[in-house]
Every structure is written in structure tokens, then in C-alpha cells.
Amino acid sequence: MRTKWHFTNTEWVEGVLRLLSEEDVEVTHLQARNQVITDSDAFAFVYLAEAESGYVYVYLHESTWLDVKKAIDGKHPLEAVGTDGTFTLASFQEEMEELVANIEGNGNYGEEMVEKVERVFFAEQH
């Protein structure tokens, strides 16, 4: 079974980017899968985690991307915040660096997704 959790807001706490969801989610039982994929239709990066019941898709929506870029550039950790605590997105920076490099100029992700990613993650290069 797949569960999707949507994180649309962020906050910085002591050098850590915390991802906030409008949903009530419990995150401390998650296991990191150390993989990031995209959902081009939702304009989101998706961090894969695993729970006893199956995969949990941690959606990082476009509204979080500017802070995500700052976190990557500054090598800051990311945490998903739940009602029971936090979950660290292990290997997130490495996975994201590879993924956004692959998306740049790659129409397979959809023209609009590519434009949005390039605007945020490659702004100073264009």
C-alpha cells in the first residue's frame, strides 16, 4: 500500500529545514529509502520512506522549493515534522543534486516541470 503525505510549508529551526504538512501525520516509525523521485503532474519532489504498511511518499511541493534549494546549497539537513516528532530525510541532498541535474533541459519530465525546476534550482545560471 502507498500513502502520500503532502508537505507544503517550511520552517528553519537551528539550521535544520523542517517540512510542515497540513495533515496530521506520524513520522517517527518511518524508515528512509534514500531515494527521491518526481511527480511532474503535481510539481513535487517525492522522498520515499517505508512503514510497516508499505511505502510512504513524502511530497515536497513547489511552495517548499526555495527553502529546499537553500538547504541543499548550505548542506543543511531536512526533517519532516509529524504529530509524534520528526523524521530526517537521509541522503536527500545527494539524491536531489543528481535529480535536478537530470531534470535540467530534460523534456521527459514535462515542459512545465522542467521550467519550474530550472527557475528555482538554476536561477543564477540562466
Distance from C-alpha of 118 to C-alpha of 55, rounded to nearest angstrom: 29
Pairing of strands 85-88, 16-21: unpaired
For residue 126, pLDDT beyond 70: no
What integer pLDDT is reported at residue 9 of this predicted model? 98
Report residue 124's pLDDT band, with 50, 70 and 90 as the boundaries: low
Residue 2 has φ and ψ, to the nearest 5°, of -110, 135
In this structure, which amino acid lies at residue 53? Answer: S
pTM exceeds cut of 0.85: yes
Closest CA to 16 of 96, 95, 98, 75: 75
Q: Which tens digits make up the pLDDT trace of 73-123?
A: 999 999 999 999 999 999 999 999 999 999 999 999 999 999 999 999 998
